A and B are shown apart, each in its own frame.
Chain A
């Protein structure tokens, strides 16, 4: 189409591949070979294998020979109410944690960005929850939420917020809130750090100019900070959502494999490893992969649409 518009297309200079270029290409691929081999063998091959397994009745150390069963696994999965519950629970978890982490993280980022003595210390303090293993964080909170000797109950009763101690983890009514609390505690500082990095790129002159023009702090926030922070916000939200959808550690440590308190990944792992139903587990893996991809597609279209 564009060539039609150009009156006289200049003949493209034919690029001769020089010896140097050819050598660069060969050496380049040679240097990439180990990394590509690892990625192929550790990620791409298993991914293909998972898709294949999802159409078979493969059992771990099963006595029956593996058989092609078509879409049987997917049909079973569609009617599997346990799996449906895990999908709903995981999405609830994702919406709650990502929402809280974003709002709290933004507040913290704005506070830290306002510049005060000890800002460096604060930033270091914020990295600490991120660095420790999720499993360790979960155990620390499990003890804090203990029904008899937990500090949360003690504080609640002392301040009269609670009338009596509560079994946060074993009560189905509060168990989701309990896992969310751990994830929000562990990840909010990290979200704040990512947003803080975005805030620090915004040039100060903009705020000065806005003050001169008489814009108040709130107007400056809506008109300058938020629009310019958009790229950082989007990247943060996408990665947090993907992370939350594949949550495993907190749920497994808090509830083990308790029915009704499993995330998608926990149910998949117990089906595949604990029960040895590799074929059925593989179909679940594919489903989880598709659900996560769906969220990516939604985000990307949202970004595209709002940019136009």
Chain B
């Protein structure tokens, strides 16, 4: 049997190839390059995270020695302890939560009301507002840096009204972050509002509801998934922002997370002076909640991103 097969194979090599392709093992082998490609993509996407984690749990004595080890042989929590016990970093986490949370709430509140008008009403000028919002989503933040910078040092508006000095306060960030969260929120929520069928609304009007009741009791619950998506995107955008944070905040007590993460570095950039272990522990702490939220809500995020087709 086996000799027959080998001779047959020697005479017609193609038949062996075909037989191999049809066998389960052969099929698996054929798919091997494909799976290797998938593996390569996954490793490429995830290796930096593994490296951050590995560096965070490797003690300094192993971290700053060559040859470097790829698996921590003496895992330690010291770096996490150092990062979380520094009041500077804890403050930054709190500040970022306050800033990103407020920006998200404000954008959702103002944005959903505006989306109600743009998505469910018919009036002249509506299209103009929609295009204004769309053009705002690609607005380069650097273009108004100087103007915001001088505005935040306080100025006189009219009569007895002065614009308060916001420089070096979380308010400066909450205020300026609206420029990239609000237009995006309005744009995406409008598309959600527009997709709703009109019957429910009409039924509510017949029952004598006012437009605001319709908004609050009928429409808002229906676009709840949209609110979650846009809210998360706004939160991530505000949490990650760096340009305004490094420009409008001066005192370390008001630093947000990105500014704090950079300030771990000694200015000279010497490897011995940069506490890379603690720094990597801090990046892991900052990244974990974002990864968790992203993984849980990935379907909704994707829907929101493609609806807006904008980087959040």
- Inter-chain contacts of B186 with A (CB < 8 A): 35
Q: Does B243 contact A (CB under 8 A)?
A: yes
Closest A residue to B185 by CB, please name it. A35
* Residue interface mask B105-139, A partner, CB < 8 A = 1: 00000110110111001111110010011001011
Complex contact B149–A272 (CB within 8 A): yes
Complex contact A124–B182 (CB within 8 A): no
- Inter-chain contacts of B122 with A (CB < 8 A): 21, 24
Closest A residue to B63 by CB, please name it. A149
Query: Which residues 83-133 of A sit at the B interface, judged by CB distance below 8 A?
Result: 108, 111, 114, 116, 118, 122-133
State which of A123, A139, A146 has its C-beta within 8 Å of the C-beta of B261: A139
- Which of A127, A245, A252 has the most B CB atoms < 10 Å from its CB? A127
Q: How far is the CA of A130 from the CA of B312 in the complex (A)?
A: 10
Q: How far is the CA of A35 from the CA of B136 in the complex (A)?
A: 12
Q: Does B41 contact A (CB under 8 A)?
A: yes
Q: Does B230 contact A (CB under 8 A)?
A: no
Complex contact B124–A25 (CB within 8 A): yes
Closest A residue to B267 by CB, please name it. A256
Give the B interface residue count (CB, 8 A): 95
Complex contact B306–A194 (CB within 8 A): yes
- Inter-chain contacts of A236 with B (CB < 8 A): 309
Q: How far is the CA of A286 from the CA of B236 in the complex (A)?
A: 28
State which of B44, B63, B283, B302 has its C-beta within 8 Å of the C-beta of A185: B44
A165, chain B: closest CB distance, angstroms = 9
Comparing B18-26, B81-89, B290-298, the segment that makes contact with chain A is B290-298
Q: Does A29 contact B (CB under 8 A)?
A: yes
State which of A45, A49, A116, A296 has its C-beta within 8 Å of the C-beta of B38: A116
Closest B residue to A289 by CB, please name it. B143
Complex contact A27–B121 (CB within 8 A): yes
A38-B110, A53-B150, A151-B68 as given contacts; A248 in contact with B279, CB under 8 Å:
no
Q: How far is the CA of A111 from the CA of B211 in the complex (A)?
A: 48
Complex contact B143–A111 (CB within 8 A): no
Complex contact B146–A285 (CB within 8 A): yes
Q: Does B42 contact A (CB under 8 A)?
A: yes
Q: How far is the CA of A132 from the CA of B45 in the complex (A)?
A: 12
Query: Which residues 34-63 of A sit at the B interface, judged by CB distance below 8 A?
Result: 34-36, 38-39, 42-43, 45-47, 49-50, 53, 58, 60-61
Complex contact A246–B140 (CB within 8 A): yes
Interface, chain A (partner B; CB < 8 A): 21, 24-25, 27-29, 31-32, 34-36, 38-39, 42-43, 45-47, 49-50, 53, 58, 60-61, 108, 111, 114, 116, 118, 122-137, 139-141, 143-144, 146-149, 151, 154, 170, 185, 189-190, 193-194, 197, 235-236, 239, 242-243, 245-246, 248-249, 252-253, 256, 264-265, 268-269, 272-273, 278, 281-282, 285-286, 288-289, 292, 296
Would you give 16 A-B contacts (Cβ < 8 Å), ordered by A? A27-B211, A29-B117, A29-B123, A36-B114, A39-B183, A125-B46, A127-B295, A132-B290, A133-B258, A135-B258, A144-B51, A193-B305, A197-B302, A197-B306, A249-B243, A285-B144
* Top 10 A-B residue pairs of the complex, sorted by shortest distance between their CB atoms: A46-B147, A35-B114, A46-B144, A133-B240, A31-B117, A49-B147, A25-B123, A135-B258, A28-B121, A197-B306
